[in-house]
Copies of this chain bind each other. A is one copy, B any other.
């Protein structure tokens, strides 16, 4: 079981990796997502990723480096799926509503209560790790900009009032997402989350 896709950039390769890099990174991401940076040991990662310590260090570097690659992977997959509909040309006020709706659905169906990997990392690492902090800040900023884009389009279409401060609204929506992520870790009740979202989005009326 060799992944020949790796062959492309190599002049000479005596042996190919037996695992798919993307697949095991996904598993690392899920582990960090659920247990946090400090709460995850190398042994946990070895067990969950299904590769040995040697392969892990050889492929992804040390724990910190692997963590940052896991964050980047989260951004490329989960966050991307969140942002795409907001940035679509056809996006409107409804795209924002859908965004919060899907948040509720994911929160309620998430039995592990992992919350959002970015939110978790902000809380755990940002105050002590400026490098990770700026990485996360960038990712969150992209979400905020996506909200802003959607708001502009909604305004152009006359779906929201013309006198609203769209920058402030985008920051508000981003902050609200974080809040919901925290709340859903405590008491994940669909009705309560829906109530909060309803009040949140009433600012667009």
Residues on A facing B (Cβ under 8 Å): 34-36, 38-39, 112-115, 119-120, 122-124, 126-128, 133, 136-137, 140, 165, 167-169, 171-172, 174-183, 185-187, 192, 195-196, 198-200, 202-203
Whether A186 and B126, one on each chain, are in contact in the complex, defined by CB atoms closer than 8 angstroms, is: yes
Whether A123 and B119, one on each chain, are in contact in the complex, defined by CB atoms closer than 8 angstroms, is: yes
Residues of B within 8 A of A177 (CB): 179
Whether B186 and A133, one on each chain, are in contact in the complex, defined by CB atoms closer than 8 angstroms, is: yes
> From A126, which residue of chain B is reached at the shortest CB distance?
B185
Residues of B within 8 A of A182 (CB): 119, 122-123, 175, 178-179, 181-182
Residues of B within 8 A of A174 (CB): 183
